[in-house]
Amino acid sequence: MSADNPEHPGFATLAVRAGQQRTPEGEHAEPIFPTSSYVFSSAAEAAARFSGEQAGNIYSRFTNPTVRTFEQRLAALEGGESCVATSSGMSAILSTCLGLLKSGDHIVSSRSIFGTTTVLLTNYLARFGVDTTFVSLSDLSSWEQAVRSETRLFFLETPSNPLTELADIRALATLARANDCLLVVDNCFCTPALQKPLDLGADIVIHSATKYLDGQGRCIGGAVVGDAERVGTDIFGVLRTAGPTMSPFNAWVFLKGLETLELRMHAHSASAQLLSRWLEEQPEVRRVYHPGLDSHPQHDLAAVQQKNSGGIVSFELEGGKDAAWAFIDATRIFSITANLGDTKSTITHPATTTHGRLTPEQRDETGISDGLIRLAIGLETVADLQADLWRGFNQLRSDQ
């Protein structure tokens, strides 16, 4: 190992150590501070805190030591100046929009984003005069054409769910900058262990901590990471006022999750690679979607933009919905649930669940066919997962 580590300190060290401030008790692990408010030593100190003259805690709607430890740790991992933790991934996105946009502003967003994010933009933000144009994630020219003089923000997820399509973050950051827009990346699928959008030129990173940051399917939470002015002041101001706050207990779960994030993300990726290659060999499978496959159209981009391929594998079965449902119902280890980022592997039929609200034409446009199955590969023994998928294939073979 080289003594001059170019990352000072390394990712895993930050994941385990960053943000912790020991109390005089000398505790080794991070404590949970379940307190709604804080006491002052005098009336004068209370006044100084409230006026902002003196830094320090006032009320846990906006600051809490356990939440702060999580925020500082995630900021260090993403390479951002500032982080604001929120009660969910959706409230992270809402707080970002409330903090950075006003009526009349325009968003250009990838079409392939989390379904509820689409609903937030089209059903709710639109009511407050913020319009969104949806474009193809990987088609740079469609982003360029959608920009208007009122455009303030580009929004995307990469890789996309469930088809693992990639955006070229660097190219979109350049386009955003040229048009005076901010690039906001929902980094839920890769996490900073595999991809650091801020290093590639993005302005803001969003997380649903519910997924891989927790990593064990326990808590709902979110976060926004970026520069001190936009995140530390503008978005923090929304949190302080509107209150979509992360609880100290959830912050503690997430910050312990961060300690094993890098190990977990590489383990999810390794199993997903193995299974996706094996799925490609099965005669009932029309196509497999996973950035680690040579057959993935953006395999080269994934290799430079991501440290590994992630845990999501989607595949299309011949035989449409009936085959997909029969396959899903034959598995015994995979959990039938739409969640992902868990130690437990999950299996989903996007066309009738996560993407069920789309019209058949919209599903066609976005490639969510009736035979498509999405796997979020967990941390079980990979041979057991393969045997479980065999149950699916055997079911199809016996149905013939």
Ligand X SMILES: *Cc1c(COP(=O)(O)O)cnc(C)c1O
Taking the complex as a whole, the smallest distance from the CB of residue 82 to ligand X amounts, in Å, to 20
Residue type, 214: D
Angstrom distances, CA of residue 38 to CA of 236, 271, 352:
19, 46, 48
Contacting positions for ligand X (CB under 6 A): 88-90, 114, 117, 157, 186, 188, 208, 210-211, 220, 222
Taking the complex as a whole, the smallest distance from the CB of residue 237 to ligand X amounts, in Å, to 21
Residues 6+ away with beta carbon under 8 Å from 232: 81, 82, 84
Of residues 164, 159, 162, the one with CA closest to residue 186: 159
> Closer to ligand X at the Cβ: 255 or 330?
255
Taking the complex as a whole, the smallest distance from the CB of residue 161 to ligand X amounts, in Å, to 6
Taking the complex as a whole, the smallest distance from the CB of residue 211 to ligand X amounts, in Å, to 6
SS3 of 223, please? strand
Taking the complex as a whole, the smallest distance from the CB of residue 306 to ligand X amounts, in Å, to 15
Angstrom distances, CA of residue 134 to CA of 154, 179, 325, 340, 356:
10, 17, 30, 24, 18
> Closer to ligand X at the Cβ: 248 or 319?
248
> Closer to ligand X at the Cβ: 211 or 268?
211
Tokens linked to 397: 């073979």
**The Cα angle at residue 157 between residues 153 and 159, in degrees rounded to 5:** 150
Tokens linked to 151: 């455009």
Residue 351 has phi, psi (to 5 degrees) of: -60, -30
> Closer to ligand X at the Cβ: 214 or 284?
214
> Closer to ligand X at the Cβ: 293 or 312?
312
Taking the complex as a whole, the smallest distance from the CB of residue 339 to ligand X amounts, in Å, to 8
Residue nearest to ligand X (CB): 89
> Closer to ligand X at the Cβ: 112 or 392?
112
> Closer to ligand X at the Cβ: 323 or 375?
375
**The Cα angle at residue 127 between residues 121 and 128, in degrees rounded to 5:** 90
Taking the complex as a whole, the smallest distance from the CB of residue 189 to ligand X amounts, in Å, to 6
> Closer to ligand X at the Cβ: 20 or 116?
116
Taking the complex as a whole, the smallest distance from the CB of residue 288 to ligand X amounts, in Å, to 21
Alpha-carbon dihedral sign for residues 189, 190, 195, 196: positive
Residue type, 217: G
Q: Which residues of 72-98 are buried (b: 16+ CB within 10 A; e: fewer)?
A: bbbbbbbbbebbbbbbbbbbbbbbbbb
| HEC letters along 280-337 | HCCCCEEEEECCCCCCCCCHHHHHHHCCCCCCEEEEEECCHHHHHHHHHHHCCCCEEC
Tell whether omega for the bond before 159 is within 30 degrees of 0, i.e. cis: yes
The helix (H) or strand (E) run that includes residue 274 is: helix 261-280
Instruction: List, as one string, the DSSP characters of 163-199.
Output: T-----HHHHHHHHHHTT-EEEEE-TTTHHHH--GGG
Taking the complex as a whole, the smallest distance from the CB of residue 190 to ligand X amounts, in Å, to 10
Taking the complex as a whole, the smallest distance from the CB of residue 188 to ligand X amounts, in Å, to 4
> Closer to ligand X at the Cβ: 114 or 143?
114
Which residues make beta-bridge pairs with 335? 346
> Closer to ligand X at the Cβ: 17 or 218?
218
